[in-house]
Amino acid sequence: MPEPNNFANTPLMAVIPAAGNGMRFLPSRYAKELFPIGYDMLSTTEGGIRPRLAIQYGLDGLRSAGVRQAYVIISDNKYELIRVLGDGTDYGVLLAFLHQKQARGLPAALDVAYPWLRNCITVMVLPDTIFTPIDAVDVVVSAVRKGDADVVLAVFPTDHPEELCPVAFDEQRNAIQFFDKVKGVQLSNTWGLGAWTPHFGDFLHNFLREESPKRTNEITLAEVFSAALNQGISIRCQFFQCGVFYDIGNNSSLIRAIRAVELPILNL
């Protein structure tokens, strides 16, 4: 594990993987990252309210953590994100878009940004998730900067662990095992975002280069995390006991998220 403060001056960048096809929402082909989830109250001079896009929750987390630049990974059916988000100025985070020709799972999407992030601390937020507290991003980034671990994950309580990716961790918050969409899992949590050092970024890139040619199915990030643990890479969990996490990846979870943020209307 790196010495404390070893990454104090390492550049910080974000990656937002948004290249998925959204197959669970067919026949709708609208980008789920742009679904309106809740509303913002506008200023007194502007008046009224405006819809809050799903991706804004992640962007707000990045902005609050001092992340000023992010790469958004998109595929052919996600060009609408460029039109709506633009360069990110309106959201407080400068955005650049990287194209992935074919959606091949979350690790492959992250690896698209590898040439631009290989010497950076990388923070990842998922654009189709809703989470609180908003400073969860800042907490995991600060932990990586201090050298707490190669990877620091924000872990949230959930009533639907079988739809997500729970993680077992010890009393020192070291990750032990990941359970990606496992029915009957006896854990009530899920990791929801994370940050990591260039060391883990290199590991992910090399792991995919070695394993992808052997596989016909998609590689999950849980598999990469598990392989990293086996290689002695440290993964620490920051558990937000009073936190909230929703993944809007299917109709039922989308409905839960909408109901959860209906009230109160957020004030800008």
DSSP string, the chain: -PPTTTTTTS-EEEEEE-----GGGTT--S-GGG-EEEEEEPPTTT-SEEEEEHHHHHHHHHHHTT--EEEEEE-GGGTHHHHHHTTSGGGTSEEEEEE-SS---HHHHHHHTHHHHTTSEEEE--TTEEEE-TTHHHHHHHHHHTTS-SEEEEEEE-S-GGGS--EEE-TT-BEEEE-TT-TT-S--EEEEEEEE-HHHHHHHHHHHHHHGGG-SSPPPHHHHHHHHHHTT--EEEEE-TT-EEEE-SSHHHHHHHHHHTSSSPEE-
Q: Tokens at residue 254, please?
A: 């989308």
The pLDDT tens digits for 118-146 are 999 999 999 999 999 999 999 999 999 99
For residue 266, what pLDDT is reported? Answer: 44
Cα separation, 26 vs 214, whole angstroms: 30
195-212: pLDDT as tens digits: 999 999 999 999 999 999
Residue extents of the structural domains in the chain? 12-263
**Residue 95, token pair as written in the block:** 């955005």
pLDDT tens digits, 231-248: 999 999 999 999 999 998
> Does pLDDT of 27 surpass 80?
no
Q: What is the mean pLDDT of the chain?
A: 90
CATH of 12-263, one of 3.40.50.1000, 3.90.550.10, 3.40.50.2020, 1.10.287.1260: 3.90.550.10
Q: Which residues contact 8 (CB under 8 A, 6 or more apart)?
A: 145
For residue 48, pLDDT beyond 90: no
pLDDT over 80 at 172, yes or no = yes
Paired sense of beta strands 12-17 and 121-124, if any: parallel
Instruction: Please tell me the distance from the alpha carbon of residue 187 to that of residue 166, in angstroms, as a whole number.
Output: 6
Pair 126, 156: CB distance under 8 Å: no
**Does 1 score more than 80 pLDDT?**
no
Query: Is the predicted pLDDT of residue 54 greater than 80, yes or no?
Result: yes
| The model's pTM | 0.91
Task: Give residue 3's pLDDT band: very low, low, confident or very high (50, 70, 90).
Answer: very low
Tell me what the mean pLDDT of segment 38-45 comes to: 73
